[in-house]
Amino acid sequence: MVEIYDDVTALARAISAARRRIVGPTVALMGLLYLALLGVVRRATRIQQQKDALEREVAERTRVHRESQAALAEAQRARRDAEEARAAADRASHAKSIFLATMSHEIRTPLNGVIGMTEVLLADPLTETQRKQLQVVHHSALSLLRLLSDLLDFSRLEADAVQLHSAPFSLRGVLDDLLAGMQPRARQRGLALELRIDPDVPEHIAADEARVRQVVGNLLTNALKFTHVGNVTLEVARDPASADRLVFRVRDTGIGIAANHLDRIFRPFEQVDGTNTRRHGGAGLGLSICRRLVELMDGQIGVQSREGQGSTFWFTMRFQPAAALAAAEDADLGQTLDADVLVVKDDAVNEIVAREMLTLMGCAVTVASGGEEALDKLEHRTFDAVLMDLHMAGIDGIETTRRIRARETLTAARRMPIVALTADAFPQTRARCVAAGMDDVLAKPFTFASLHAALQPLLGATAAINRAATATDS
């Protein structure tokens, strides 16, 4: 019994000791487990929250994207609408301009009849009263004609239907002539009308003479119209800001223009005030025509003015090199050449002169900068003649010519006339040119006449043959 009792006691003790050993760590383990579980739950909650936030963000972005997509489509639609509206407006404006141009042209024809017959009548014996009445008719018809010319010009300029025709002329000659025509009106009004041309302005320039006349004439007419005492002066100088431009200034001591009107007067139908209009006449188109024409001449127009003291209207225009062109004017223009010419050039001035002269002769001009470009162009099309600088960067004129001739031999092509342009006129140079296969050598500076004389005999044959070939090709 006692033994059993002892064993049970020992067992109980052992159990209790074991329990003590187990309980401690178990409690600790459970604590740890609890903490870990808590961490997991927290993390899960956080992840869920992040997921929710992300989903919200995605939804928001999708909404924004849809909205911007819609806005973009809307903007594109609006742009298309605006473009269509603009195209329609352009078409309408073009149609209006064409209509105006046609109508004013149609009206001018009978008006010329009225003016012409009035002049014939005025030459007949008339009573004093009849003469006065007829003079009113004449004067009114002339005003109407001027108005129509302005309208015609204005609408053609609006429709971009005006092209400048550049040709050489004596600037002083044209301006002298213009002023001479206005002197009677100036004298009648007791005004001095003067012309001052700076000495460094070239005597001859190439530009659209009629349009230069028109712009200067409009400015002078205005100056005389709005000046009651003093003088009107036309000054011409080289533009200090641009070597190839001239600047014209028309100064007057007239009524001047208030500062707030200075921009407006260059717009069509704008006049400083109604009283002036009635007193001075005019439709307010002169300056807007001037502005358009000056823009076509690659220049600008402007005014400085003080009310009550006078105005200075100025404009700039581009002009072409003059020395060679002066010669061109004197030369007999000779027969039109009507040829397709390739100019192979080294320097730009030379090219401008050659191009201008060739155009005047009636040629179509293509320009190649250097030998490589020339060979490339010749591979793709034929020309009636080539004008070639000798000294060029890259392959020079002699070498380019050799290659052209070699290619012609290879392809059994027609021999194309090649004229050399060179600053040195030594016999050796000429010999080298001829040896390379050139047909002629032109010394710089060449004149219109010498270029014409060099090309004409060479072209006569080729141009005709080429034209015949093109005709049969097509």
Ligand X SMILES: Nc1ncnc2c1ncn2[C@@H]1O[C@H](COP(=O)(O)OP(=O)(O)O)[C@@H](O)[C@H]1O
Given the rule CB under 5 A, which residues bind Mg ion? 222, 282, 286
202 counts as binding ligand X under rule CB under 6 A: no
What's the rounded Cα separation, in Å, for the pair 303 and 294? 14
Q: At its nearest, how many Å lie between ligand X and the CB of residue 182?
A: 14
Name residues contacting ligand X, limited to 48-67 (CB under 6 A): none
How many residues touch ligand X under the rule CB under 6 A: the total is 19
By beta carbon distance, the residue nearest Mg ion is 286
Comparing CB distances to ligand X, the nearer of 159 and 283 is 283
Task: Give backbone dihedrals phi and psi of 445, rounded to 5 degrees, phi first.
Answer: -75, 130
Question: Which does residue 462 touch among Mg ion, ligand X, none (CB within 5 to 8 A, set by kind)?
Answer: none
* By the rule CB under 6 A, 301 interacts with ligand X: no
Q: In the complex with ligand X, which residue's Cβ is closer, 262 or 449? A: 262
Residue window 223-252: x/- pattern of binding to ligand X, with contact defined by CB under 6 A:
x--x-------------------------x
Nearer to Mg ion, 265 or 363 (CB): 265
* Residue, CB closest to ligand X: 282
Range 264-293, binding ligand X (CB under 6 A): 265, 271-272, 276, 282-287
Min dist CB 219 to Mg ion, Å, is 8
Return the structure tokens found at 39.
């961490």
Least CB distance to ligand X at residue 283 (A): 5
From the list Mg ion, ligand X, none, partner contacted by residue 252 (C-beta under 5 to 8 A by kind) = ligand X
Query: Is residue 255 within the footprint of ligand X (CB under 6 A)?
Result: yes
Binding residues for ligand X, per CB under 6 A?
222-223, 226, 252, 254-257, 265, 271-272, 276, 282-287, 311
